[in-house]
Amino acid sequence: MFNRYQRLTFSGYFSGMELNASLLDTLDDLDGEPDVKRVPQNIEAEQALLGAIMVNNEARDRVSGFLTAEHFFDPLHARIFDVSDRLINAGKLVSPVTLKTFFENEEPLGELSVPQYLARLTASATTVINAEEYGRTIYDLAILRQLISIGTDMVSNAYVADVDIPPSEQIAEAEQALYGLAESGKYGSGFQPFRTALTDALDMANAAYQRDGGLSGLSSGLKDLDEKLGGLQKSDLVILAGRPSMGKTALATNIAFSIARSFRADHKSDGTREVLDGGVVAFFSLEMSSEQLATRILSEQSGVSSELIRRGKISEEQFGRMVDVARDLEGIPLYIDPTGGLAIAQLSARARKIKRQHGLNLVVVDYLQLLTGSSRRASEGRVQEVTEITTGLKALAKELEVPILALSQLSRQVEQRDDKRPQLADLRESGSIEQDADVVMFVFREEYYVGRREPRLNTAEHFEWQEEMDRVTGLAEVIIGKQRHGPTGTVRLQFQSETTRFEDYVPDSHLPERFD
Nearest-CA neighbor of 237 among 378, 362, 421?
362
Nearest-CA neighbor of 50 among 141, 137, 118?
118
pLDDT of residue 184: 62
pLDDT of residue 403: 93
Same domain, 426 and 304: yes
> Does the pLDDT of residue 404 top 90, yes or no?
yes
Q: How many CA atoms lie within 13 A of 294 on its CB side?
A: 16
Q: What is the mean pLDDT of residues 124-148?
A: 86
Same domain, 299 and 429: yes
Same domain, 320 and 429: yes
What is the residue-wise DSSP string for 184-218? H---------HHHHHHHHHHHHHHHHHSTT--SSB
Asked whether the beta carbons of 145 and 73 are under 8 A apart, the reply is yes
Calpha distance 491→226 (Å, rounded) = 10
> Does the pLDDT of residue 498 top 70, yes or no?
yes
Q: CATH number for the domain including 349? A: 3.40.50.300
Q: What is the mean pLDDT of residues 98-108?
A: 86
Asked whether the beta carbons of 289 and 338 are under 8 A apart, the reply is yes
Of 136-140, 224-228, 510-514, which gets the smallest average pLDDT? Answer: 510-514
Which of residues 278 and 173 earns the better pLDDT score? Answer: 278
The verdict on residue 195 lying in a domain is no
The 3-state DSSP class for residue 61 equals helix
Domain total in the chain: 2
The verdict on residue 146 lying in a domain is no
Calpha distance 356→358 (Å, rounded) = 6
Round the average pLDDT of the chain to a whole number and report it. 79
> Does the pLDDT of residue 223 top 80, yes or no?
yes
Q: What is the SS3 string spanning 298-317?
A: HHHHHCCCHHHHHHCCCCHH
Q: What is the mean pLDDT of residues 435-458?
A: 84
The verdict on residue 128 lying in a domain is yes
Asked whether the beta carbons of 414 and 420 are under 8 A apart, the reply is yes
Q: CATH number for the domain including 131? A: 1.10.860.10
The verdict on residue 464 lying in a domain is yes
> Does the pLDDT of residue 3 top 60, yes or no?
no
Calpha distance 323→302 (Å, rounded) = 9
Same domain, 370 and 492: yes
pLDDT of residue 28: 47
DSSP 69: G
- Identify the domain boundary among 122, 138, 154: 138
Q: What is the mean pLDDT of residues 69-78?
A: 92
pLDDT of residue 34: 45
Asked whether the beta carbons of 141 and 73 are under 8 A apart, the reply is yes
Of 220-224, 272-276, 356-360, which gets the smallest average pLDDT? Answer: 272-276
- Identify the domain boundary among 89, 104, 138: 138
Q: Cα dihedral angle (494, 497, 498, 502), rounded to 10 degrees?
A: 40
Same domain, 127 and 223: no
Same domain, 88 and 223: no
Same domain, 240 and 102: no
The verdict on residue 487 lying in a domain is yes
Structural domain including 234 reads 213-508
Which of residues 21 and 363 earns the better pLDDT score? Answer: 363
Q: How many CA atoms lie within 13 A of 41 on its CB side?
A: 13
Predicted confidence band of residue 207 (pLDDT cuts 50, 70, 90): low
Same domain, 287 and 433: yes
Strand bridging mode 281-285 / 334-337: parallel
The verdict on residue 64 lying in a domain is yes
Which of residues 320 and 197 earns the better pLDDT score? Answer: 320
Asked whether the beta carbons of 2 and 27 are under 8 A apart, the reply is yes
Same domain, 338 and 445: yes
> Does the pLDDT of residue 72 top 90, yes or no?
yes
Which of residues 242 and 416 earns the better pLDDT score? Answer: 242
Count of helices and strands (H, E) across the chain:
21, 11
Those residues with Cβ within 8 angstroms of residue 57's Cβ, 6 or more apart along the chain or in another chain = 88, 93, 94
Predicted confidence band of residue 430 (pLDDT cuts 50, 70, 90): low
Calpha distance 513→137 (Å, rounded) = 73
Residue type at 307 in one-letter notation: E
Same domain, 348 and 433: yes
Query: Bridge partners of 335?
Result: 282
What pTM was computed for the model? 0.64
Predicted confidence band of residue 80 (pLDDT cuts 50, 70, 90): very high
Calpha distance 292→311 (Å, rounded) = 13
Asked whether the beta carbons of 436 and 368 are under 8 A apart, the reply is no
> Does the pLDDT of residue 194 top 50, yes or no?
yes
> φ and ψ at 73, to 5 degrees?
-80, -45
- Give the Cα-Cα-Cα angle 313, 246, 348 (nearest 5 degrees): 100
Q: What is the mean pLDDT of residues 123-134?
A: 80
Same domain, 120 and 232: no
- Identify the domain boundary among 119, 138, 157: 138
The verdict on residue 446 lying in a domain is yes
Same domain, 124 and 219: no
The verdict on residue 170 lying in a domain is no
pLDDT of residue 35: 47
Of 80-89, 178-187, 370-379, 451-460, which gets the smallest average pLDDT? Answer: 178-187
pLDDT exceeding 70 applies to what percent of the chain?
80
Q: What is the mean pLDDT of residues 383-395?
A: 85
Helix (H) or strand (E) holding 100, with range, is helix 96-103
pLDDT of residue 323: 87
